[in-house]
Amino acid sequence: MIFFVLYVLMPLIMLFPTVTYGQTRTLNIVYTGGVNGELEPCGCSPKTDFGGVARRAGYLAEHRKMLSPYILIDSGNFIDKDTPQGRLKAEAMLKAFSIMKYDAVAFLKMEKEFPYSFFSGLLKKNKIPVISDMPQYKQSISIKREAFAVNVSVNPMNYQKGKLNILLTDKPVSEIKDLKGWDVIILSSGEILEEPLKVNGTIIVSGYPKGERLGILTLQFDSGGEVLESKHKWQALGKDIKEDINVRKALKEYDAGVAGLLKDDSKPLAKMSYLGSSKCGECHQPFVESWKKTRHAGAFSSLERVGKSGDPECIKCHTAGFGEKGGFYNAKKTPMLTNVQCEACHGPGGEHLLDFSKPMQPMAESVCLKCHTKSTSPDFNYPIYLEKVKHK
Ligand code: HEC
Ligand code: HEC
Ligand code: HEC
Ligand code: HEC
């Protein structure tokens, strides 16, 4: 009997605290906002390896029962700039939203930078309840979830009596904290509210930047439908979370699309100002040997391992001179410039060959920091890291 209480009953009670309240009901608001085109983390460091739509979808699929009843919301600014790669991201993001069955998605500042025609086709393919203050969309939608009636809007004036009112906005806290009539406001301004703010009966939460964590706001209602209590939690989306295979499929399509951006083989190469390490080796062979022992020499195969060797956003730090005149273009056209080569640190060698007395790019910590950023290399420490790559 004691065994039964300890190991069976107690965990059950802890899992379902609402059972003991009788009349009260709970609703989970599961939300993202301000994801800014981050489809998935780069995986450069385990310390920053959080988030991504495949894990988000995997988490939801696995915890659907535990979360129900819940509504799933994105409060806007989920995409990046309107560039060819930005468009591919937007497409993949919408597909992921549709697989996860978002109940409401706000199109705000970043989304408004794309032409309407770009979205209209995509929204036919992916069923997504969009709200926006752009004239082509509705500003509010009503969601019914079990006994709950929810009004989700982007218009601060559109709250509705008798419903749970949720406002989605990209305005900062300072501009919205005095609004009346809203039970919950979800921000996508980029501000991080580690804990919800409670102002005059309104609960204000923010999306976690880059979607590294999923917000879960649990509202508990009394029998009259008033919010009694709220709890908030950030669900971390780490490597331990099983990915959703359909979202992963969408991401693979995205990777293929992105790799296509650099496949323009007819594009003439700029005059080679970058030479590649085998050229340097003709005169500095011992330096090539020591470099080969560093992880820089395997930086491109790290991208190949994760299927990202065609992604300009990754290539720029895992090759030499990408985006610069005469630097890396793609693995086919410029195979000699894959990896973090000599010239990624010393600068292009073209002029060096014409005049050895001309100094190359001076070596300093700032050279490393172009690639070793807070998010890609949180453990970066110049003396310690330098020691590991010094020519010996
Ligand atoms: C062009 C971008 C770039 C530059 C410039 C750069 N690195 Fe790196 N570095 C990388 C990449 C990418 C990796 C990871 C390679 C891999 O394993 O795929 C890395 C890995 C390393 C590692 C291995 C980390 C470990 O935990 O073992 C060290 C050490 C390092 N870099 C030091 C430096 C130092 C010091 C500088 C400046 C003098 C520098 N790097 C400049 C991109 C760069
Ligand atoms: C701003 C520069 C930068 C960008 C952009 C970048 N990386 Fe990295 N990456 C690094 C650095 C620096 C390291 C080494 C970090 C360390 O060990 O301190 C690294 C390491 C890695 C590793 C090796 C991790 C390991 O421990 O084996 C992988 C894989 C990787 N990056 C993949 C990617 C992918 C995929 C992208 C694009 C989505 C990307 N990187 C974009 C700088 C960058
Ligand atoms: C991660 C950055 C980095 C990369 C990549 C790198 N080096 Fe260096 N290199 C340095 C640093 C830092 C120094 C100065 C400290 C030292 O001697 O190790 C240096 C010094 C040198 C020097 C000596 C300069 C002098 O004052 O005598 C030569 C030559 C050289 N590197 C050639 C190369 C060649 C060739 C490669 C490619 C095979 C290469 N380096 C790759 C960072 C780098
Ligand atoms: C044809 C021979 C030759 C080739 C090829 C060559 N170098 Fe040099 N390099 C020299 C000579 C000669 C010097 C100057 C004498 C010295 O200090 O060793 C020098 C000096 C250097 C220095 C130290 C001086 C400074 O300004 O920092 C670096 C670093 C360096 N080379 C890097 C490279 C890199 C990187 C490449 C490939 C892109 C390269 N070199 C290709 C011959 C060459």
| Domains of the chain listed by start with CATH number | 22-253 (3.60.21.10), 273-389 (1.10.1130.10)
Beta carbon of 296 within 6 Å of any ligand 2 atom: no
Distance 270 CA to ligand 3 centre (A): 25
pLDDT tens readout for residues 309-320? 999 999 999 999
Q: What is the pLDDT of residue 173?
A: 93
Mean pLDDT value of segment 96-107: 98
Distance 363 CA to ligand 4 centre (A): 14
Q: What is the mean pLDDT of the chain?
A: 92
- Name which of 22-26, 28-32, 146-150, 302-306 the model is least confident about: 22-26
User: Closest residue (by CA) to atom 16 of ligand 1?
Assistant: 299
User: Closest residue (by CA) to atom 39 of ligand 4?
Assistant: 280
User: Closest residue (by CA) to atom 43 of ligand 4?
Assistant: 283
Q: What is the pLDDT of residue 17?
A: 46
Distance CA 251, CA 239 (A): 16
Q: What is the pLDDT of residue 175?
A: 94
Q: What is the pLDDT of residue 32?
A: 98
Distance CA 204, CA 227 (A): 14
- Name which of 194-203, 221-230, 288-297 the model is least confident about: 221-230
Q: What is the pLDDT of residue 251?
A: 98
Closest atom of ligand 1 relative to the 388 alpha carbon: 29
User: Closest residue (by CA) to atom 24 of ligand 4?
Assistant: 359
Beta carbon of 43 within 6 Å of any ligand 2 atom: yes
Beta carbon of 308 within 6 Å of any ligand 1 atom: no
pLDDT tens readout for residues 123-179? 988 999 999 999 999 999 999 999 899 999 999 999 999 999 999 999 999 999 899
Mean pLDDT value of segment 270-294: 92
CB 153 within 8 A of CB 166: yes
Distance 276 CA to ligand 4 centre (A): 13
Question: Phi first, then psi: what are they for 153, rounded to 5°?
Answer: -145, 160
Band (pLDDT 50/70/90 cuts) for residue 226 is confident
Distance 326 CA to ligand 1 centre (A): 22
CB 106 within 8 A of CB 131: yes
Q: Is the pLDDT of residue 121 over 60?
A: yes
Q: Count the alpha carbons within 13 Å of 98 in the hemisphere toward its beta carbon.
A: 15
pLDDT tens readout for residues 39-82? 999 999 999 999 999 999 999 999 999 999 999 999 999 999 99
Q: What is the pLDDT of residue 23?
A: 63
Q: What is the pLDDT of residue 129?
A: 97
